[in-house]
Amino acid sequence: MSAVIESHDHDDHHHGPAEGLTRWLYTTNHKDIGTLYLWFSFAMFLIGGAMAMVIRAELFQPGMQIVEPEFYNQMLTLHGLIMVFGAVMPAFVGLANWLIPMMVGAPDMALPRMNNLSFWILPVAFFILLSSLFMEGGAPNFGWTFYAPLSTTYAPPSVTFFIFSVHIMGASSIMGSINVIVTIMNMRAPGMTLMKMPLFVWSWLITAYLLIAVMPVLAGAVTMMLMDIHFGTSFFNAAGGGDPVLFQHIFWFFGHPEVYIMILPAFGITSHIIETFSRKQLFGHTSMVWAMTSIAILSFVVWAHHMFTVGLPLAAELFFMWATMLIAVPTGVKVFNWVTTMFKGSITYETPMLFAIAFVVLFTIGGFSGLMLAITPADFQYHDTYFVVAHFHYVLVPGAIFSIMAAVYYWIPKWTGNMYDERLGRLHFWLSFIGVNVTFFPQHWIGLAGMPRRVPDYALQFADWNMVSSVGAFLFGASQILFLFIVIKTVMGGKKASPEVWEGARGLEWTVDSPAPYHTFSTPPKVS
Amino acid sequence: MFNKATTTINKSLAALFLAALSSKSFAAWDDINMTEGVTAISKEVFGLHMLIFWICVAIGIVVFGVMFYSMFAFTKKKNPNPSTFHENTKVELAWTIVPFLILVLMAIPASNTLTKIYDDTAGDINIQVIGYQWKWEYRYLEDNIGFFSNLSTDQDEIDNNTPKGEHYLEEVDEPVIIPVGKKIRFLITANDVIHSWWMPDFAIKQDAIPGFINTAWTIVDKPGTYRGKCTELCGKNHGFMPIVVKVVPQDEYDIWVATKQEEALKMAELTEKTWSAEELVQRGEGIYQKNCVACHQSNGAGIVGIFPALAGSDIVLNDKARHLEILMEGVQGAAMASYANQLSEVDMAAVITYTRRSWGNAENGDGKIVVPTDIVEYKNLKLKEEEI
């Protein structure tokens, strides 16, 4: 008998993390993989951010000062690709890895080995993409939307590496999504019905379905480009009987759901944080689920609002205008629910709450400009100007990225067992908040006044606000170094966190110790 | 009527807003808002823009009002015991239906304006607009005239070597000229990649797409010079291909058309003239600066890996026939476009001769020159081939 017990002990001994670098290379643990994703995304955020600094430095004054127009285009292309595919998406996957198993009471993700693979191919993809900077002819220079034929016939040779890199990112996303769906569908603790599921889990379930639906479409688009470039086809080449507009239809059929992929998990995060710090149950849990589902479904029928100026027939313009305006309804419901949750709550303002409130306000402003952009005749004036740049940065930076920062501050005590430095956290918030608004709010104005996007130089009437915008960008950029410092400081030590961490926190992840043990919920909890 | 009412409301609200903001002049307001433009359509579009803007402001005031009130009134200190309500079907239905109704109200005028914009019947004057990397070509289909329109801002201004002029990056060597009060239809397409022709004062933005012809129309009643830009990323010099439209009285327009047609006749005479190498090089330098430097650079060195060098190139040195062919046909699968329709015979011969005799090419190669009649010959030969 004693031999049996001993071997049991022996097993237990191996249940902790392995030692050294191979821990990270071979790990199948959802918490380790979550950490890897989050650090990777942080690194990409800093690289993509550095490129944004180059862009804003060049735009600080009219005239060409720092870079050549050719290199400027490479910067704006890589900035977009890295922020979308390297920073925002992997950050959300990292959060999903850390949180979904703990939130549904599962011991790990359903497919741990695939989980490892889906992470480790990402650095490969971005190594390939970034290496194109050093290739003859330079990096991709056709914008993150890579419209053909600029990205095919007229592209630098590195476009082929870009295509393979996108393929790898797509494979990683699809594997990650399958993992999320299988985990949520099969591994929920007894008693956790779908409608009882925490909203972050819900938001990711919907996101994962969107990813599986549209990533293959993106793969199709880049494959057609590859064929056009190397194998003599003419999918997007008018001279060969192809259609450059077809590219845009395919790209935006991917691209529009993609922008919701980058915001739905943020909705989930914000719901949790506002609920916690209002010390009041979230208002309208069910309507939140339906709102997210409606947004996801609508995202498939609005893609051509990115293409109002390509010469669509009137009927199409009308349809896409109306469908796009309709998205304001479920989005409005979400905002109203958050506000009503705060109403008659008992609110405190820790850093995660500050970021979450800023998210609601600034995302709503991004939503307003989105509604304006939906009005087709007005879009003829807005399209491809800085107004659009302001719009999508409002939904992506103080939208998606603020929600990620809020999530980090909110859950980092659970991850590390240490409280972050509240004073520094608030400082980081205020610097980021001021920086982001000074950067992007004036861009609405210069866009309306007529400055096109994606230009390295501009006419003199745009000079003042461009300078203001650049100053804001430098402030925002610099404050992220502070964020890095705060995170490292928290990982290294700090005030010990209790299992609940926050007074008003709800959810299974707050029932385990802080830091969360390497293995949680080996036996499922009961949810009533 | 709806639009008129909203315009009046917009104007008064805007004035209020301005007065509240500061003593800044209206010029400052123009620097941060959409232009009202100079056509009936552009004014309608401006009205829609301001209408949706004020709707958003109103919704924002209500939503953020409740939010900021909650943030101040329901802190943990002031309200230690939170309420427990978390559902209310009536309220939830209301805030689904009311926004929907607001959107329907907004969609009606927007759809009306859009329908007006979508009129592709022929204009009094039909102008074909063709986007190139990185310039625009205009062809007046009735009067049979055409020309290219290039950025005329000096490279030294861009490089910060000289002070920037008033219309920095918004000026061209040859603007589009149109008469007042006539319906002008633009037929917009592109020769290489996708460009976009934007004239804010007319509220026209249409993508110029190779293989497609998009239409847009306008009637401008106010003479003046209007400035716009390319708004689709089209490569390196996307930021450097502005659009200038000059609206003039009818008689001035007629004179301009007559002059352009005369110029075309003179050009034909020049083609027949006997040219010396020096004359061609002199003329060619200007053509090269305008059309070729963007890629091949002013020292003919190109950009390694993207744009081939002309200085010391084998073709430029010793292969006159191939040199001419590249300029006339472009290079398949590369950024080099055909210049056959962009340059006159004289200019084509001049620019080829210029590259063959500059940067030491004359000394290192055969130094052969190309004369305008060579180009005519080449074109005739091509025509014959096509007939066969």
pLDDT at B2: 47
Cis status of the peptide bond prior to A149, with omega within 30 of 0: yes
Which tokens belong to B314? 């084998």
Catalytic, A98? Answer: no
Q: Say if CB A499 and CB A510 are below 8 A apart.
A: yes
Q: Which residue of the set A31, A188, A305, A393 is catalytic? A: A305
- B119: nearest CA in chain A? A314
Q: CA of B211: which chain A residue's CA is closest?
A: A238
Q: What is the pLDDT of residues A460-490, one digit of tens each?
A: 999 999 999 999 999 999 999 999 999 999 9
Query: In what order do the strands lie in the sheet containing B224-230?
Result: B176-179, B243-248, B224-230, B195-199, B204-208
Single-letter amino acid code for the residue at A453? R
Q: How far apart are CA A35 and CA A437, in angstroms?
A: 30
- C-alpha atoms less than 13 angstroms from C-alpha of A225 in its C-beta half-sphere: 32
Per-residue b or e along A80-91, where b marks 16 or more CB atoms closer than 10 Å to that residue's CB: bbbbbbbbbbbb
**Contact criterion met (CB below 8 Å) for B58 and A474:** no
Q: How many CB atoms lie within 10 A of CB B222?
A: 12
Determine the residue type at B12. Answer: S
Q: Which two tokens stand for residue B262?
A: 């005369």
The pLDDT of residue A490: 97
Peptide bond into A120 cis (omega under 30): no
- CB–CB contact B158 A63 (8 Å): yes
Model ipTM over 0.90:
yes
Is A58 assigned a catalytic role? no
Q: Is A10 a catalytic residue?
A: no
> Which of A62, A325, A455 is closest, CB to CB, to B103?
A325
Strand order in the sheet with B125-132: B145-149, B135-140, B125-132, B183-190, B214-219
Helix B2-21 crosses helix B40-73 at what angle (to 10 degrees)?
60
CA distances from A213 to A84, A114, A170, A326, A449 (A): 18, 19, 11, 22, 38
CB atoms within 10 A of CB B319: 16
Give dist(CA B155, CA A204) in Å, integer: 51
Beta-carbon contacts of residue A259 (< 8 Å; ≥ 6 apart): A299, A392, A395
Quote the pLDDT of residue A434.
Answer: 98
Q: Which of A239, A349, A456 sits opposite B239 (nearest CB)?
A: A456
Contact A150 B205 (CB under 8 A): no
Q: Which domains does chain A show, CATH number per domain?
A: 33-510 (1.20.210.10)
DSSP, residue by residue, B327-379: HHH--TTSS----TTTS-HHHHHHHHHHHHTSTTHHHHS------HHHHHHHH
Cα angle at A114 between A108 and A116, to 5 degrees? 75
Q: B308: cis peptide before it, omega within 30°?
A: no
Neighboring chain B residues of A362 at a CB cutoff of 8 Å: none
**How far A156 CA sits from the closest chain B CA (Å)?**
7
**Tens digits of pLDDT across chain B (388 residues):** 445 545 555 555 555 554 444 444 445 777 899 999 999 999 999 999 999 999 999 999 999 999 999 999 999 999 999 999 998 999 999 999 999 999 999 999 999 999 999 988 889 999 999 999 999 999 999 998 989 999 999 999 999 999 999 999 999 999 999 999 999 999 999 999 999 999 999 999 999 999 999 999 999 999 999 999 999 999 999 999 999 999 999 999 999 999 999 888 888 788 888 888 888 899 999 899 888 888 899 889 888 878 889 988 888 888 888 898 899 888 877 788 888 878 888 899 999 999 998 898 888 888 788 888 888 888 888 877 766 6
- Cα(B362)–Cα(B357) distance, integer angstroms: 4
Tell me if residue A519 is catalytic: no
A258 is catalytic: yes
Pairwise CB contact (< 8 Å): B32 & A284 = no
Size of interface A-B (CB pairs under 8 A): 292
What pLDDT was estimated at residue B7?
53
Measured in angstroms, the CA of B25 and the nearest CA of chain A are apart by 14
What is the average pLDDT score of chain A? 94
Active-site choice (A279, A453, A454, A489):
A453
Residues in chain A with pLDDT < 50? 1-13
Q: What is the pTM of this model?
A: 0.88
- With tokens 């920062």, the residue in question is A405
